[in-house]
Structure 1
């Protein structure tokens, strides 16, 4: 029941000798997703031991180069690796035009489909769903249209209370119905409420990616209760004027967002190249939100299972 985020890039517009442009890889139950794809992402995937062919979908926040330039090389490489499964790419317009030009000039004979899905950056809407996961868009405040993403694990199937099976003499059909969430009628005319027969084995987990953006109370509200929040912290508070002018946040504003969202943990990144060491940004954020860390490229951050106790 893995729920793990691996940091592939943490720099802002310019890469540095120690930081690559933005990219995160998410593993949910051994299903892999890529969030943003700056230059060098395919090399970073390999360094992290993540096979690009396992990617289910790619989510692009906005069409600034430091968040998307790496995707075109990755698309080509996956073709060379023999990918046959379609790749879903979620990105704002006009990514469809950019993709069409790339395919025309560089990958006309690609052996798989790249399926573009529009991200409407002013909408909070369900973009992707499977048996274990939902992905929602989160409107952001940047210089161009941008959206963050909320990855939310679905509530797992109900488990049966073993003692209830014997106590009520449940047969196979009744057990199956109970696991579907139904109340169970017995032969004596009584009905047993489902909550007396089942329990949820663990709570669904969540991860939100909010970059690039000014502080947004709306975005914080839309990710309320998130377990792990990644929020850009491009600048220190002393450079807040520059942050505002460029459509970015300070470390203090990232912490403010985590506090407003009721997040359990905060990861900050997308650091300006002017800061050689992120420790000052972490200290600044921790003044408001103690559970703050600066991301480290190549490191993975697990969200542990929160088991519930049967009543």
Structure 2
């Protein structure tokens, strides 16, 4: 597993920092944690193949966390053999994604599945033989989710694989 910090600037990108986005790479699959403006560019700089994004976890729908979604999904959808992308986000995510898709000319072959999360505590919403992804509500007063990925026993995860790109 490799973890890439793609952006840590809140709301406003700076010369040194992109807005929110992180990528977890595992066996050729990329899981994005938020997809702020400029995420595709940051993925290019990090040497990540954007068409390998299979899951996008949205903590909340502020623009600095989702403004890169349309461009990324169109890039994936216009690739040679686009794989489906699953988007996980708070209640209302289907409506928000629908609004985004209606706001542009949507000409892509990318199959998108949106799953709305409404955890009442820490809940697992995705798991396979190697890891589980958990979500829990934050205490901000509006729907914001925090995510954790827990690897299962025996799944390799070496500290040297922690990558940073700010």
TM-score, length of structure 1 as denominator length = 0.48
Runs of 4+ in 1 over 4 A off after TM superposition: none
The 5 A counterparts of 1:1-311 are 3-106=1-104, 108-156=106-154, 297-298=165-166
How many angstroms apart in 2 are the aligned matches of 1:92 and 1:35? Answer: 13
Q: CA deviation at 1:84?
A: 2.5
Alpha-carbon distance change, 29 to 108 in structure 1, aligned in 2, over 3 angstroms: closer
CA contact (8 A) 1:35 1:58 kept: yes
Q: CA deviation at 1:53?
A: 1.0
Comparing 125-134 and 98-107, the one that deviates more: 98-107
In structure 1, stretches of 5+ residues that fail to align are 157-201, 206-226, 228-294, 299-311
Q: Map Cα deviations across residues 122-177 of structure 1 (whole Å, 9 max, x no partner).
A: 44211111221110002212242111111011123xxxxxxxxxxxxxxxxxxxxx
**Corresponding residue pairs, total:** 163
Alpha-carbon distance change, 22 to 125 in structure 1, aligned in 2, over 3 angstroms: same
How many angstroms apart in 1 are the aligned matches of 2:2 and 2:40? Answer: 18
Alpha-carbon distance change, 296 to 133 in structure 1, aligned in 2, over 3 angstroms: closer
Q: Map Cα deviations across residues 261-308 of structure 1 (whole Å, 9 max, x no partner).
A: xxxxxxxxxxxxxxxxxxxxxxxxxxxxxxxxxx9535xxxxxxxxxx
Q: CA deviation at 1:81?
A: 2.1
How many angstroms apart in 2 are the aligned matches of 1:30 and 1:95? Answer: 26
SS at match of 1:66: helix
Q: CA deviation at 1:93?
A: 2.4
CA RMSD of aligned residues (A): 2.3
SS at match of 1:36: strand
Alpha-carbon distance change, 6 to 147 in structure 1, aligned in 2, over 3 angstroms: same
In structure 2, stretches of 5+ residues that fail to align are none
Q: Which has the higher contact order (CA 8 A, sep 6+)?
A: 2
CA contact (8 A) 1:59 1:89 kept: yes
